Amino acid sequence: MKTRWKELIMTMDGQSRAHDSTIIPSSVLRALVVAAFVVGTTIGLGTIGVRLNASPSLPIGLYVVTSDPNAELVEFCPDEPAASVGIHRGYRSRGNCPDGGTPLLKPVVATAGDLVRVSRSGLTVNGRLLPNTEPQIRDTQGRAMASVPDGTYAVGSGTVWVASSYHRRSFDSRYFGPIRVTAVRHRLRPLLTR
């Protein structure tokens, strides 16, 4: 059958078009169509306040912007140097933050007045150890991870600590400390997650 197919794509001068670079393989074409659909859908959903999370830091799925000031999830653009580290190492892809990266979506774990203790065991907030928050020494590519120095920190006015206890490799306040409340773009809640 393969020989028969090759015979059918021979041109009149006897040259095969099987290696002609102008022919797009159907698998590549399918991948391009799927990518265009995903990008278009993500942009469309974003304009109506729905966010797609594909990061393992939280359950994969859709999250919706809410006006609830107590919603525990926040979307923010990290400050430097975390912003550049995140892009350079591939923790963040291209997006609409001022640095050109995607915003992060993380749970707020501590607010003004709380006490956060950072140790090799993880983050402890007001005496409660949060699961899966032990700082990792290396990332999945084997690169060293600089974390916030061990110690106890009083959360200052105008700042919050963010961390995911969902996945131990989340890039969060363990590595860059508290974030400014003014960096929070939106509060979100789960809409449809896995």
Distance CA 140, CA 120 (A): 18
Percent of the chain scored above 90 by pLDDT? 66
Distance CA 141, CA 38 (A): 27
Q: How confident is the model at residue 89 (pLDDT cuts 50, 70, 90)?
A: very high
Cross-strand bridge partners of residue 116: 125, 153
**What burial class does residue 144 get, using C-beta atoms within 10 Å of its C-beta: 0-12 exposed, 13-18 middle, 19+ buried?**
exposed
Q: How confident is the model at residue 194 (pLDDT cuts 50, 70, 90)?
A: confident
**What burial class does residue 76 get, using C-beta atoms within 10 Å of its C-beta: 0-12 exposed, 13-18 middle, 19+ buried?**
buried
Residue 40 has pLDDT above 80, yes or no: no
* Whether this model's pTM surpasses 0.95: no
CATH 2.10.109.10 applies to domain 66-193: yes
pLDDT reported for residue 161: 98
Residue 73 has pLDDT above 90, yes or no: yes
CA–CA–CA angle 118, 119, 125 (5° rounding): 40
Mean predicted confidence (pLDDT) in 51-65: 90
Q: How many CB atoms lie within 10 A of CB 175?
A: 20
Scored b (16 or more CB within 10 A) or e, 17-34 reads eeeeeeeeeeeeeeeeee
Q: How confident is the model at residue 8 (pLDDT cuts 50, 70, 90)?
A: very low
DSSP 4-58: HHHHHTB-TTS-B-TT-TTSPPHHHHHHHHHHHHHHHHHHHHHHTTEEEE-STTS
Give the sign of the dihedral formed by CA 83, CA 88, CA 94, CA 99: positive
Residue 173 has pLDDT above 80, yes or no: yes
Residue 6 has pLDDT above 60, yes or no: no
**Higher-confidence residue: 49 or 42?**
49
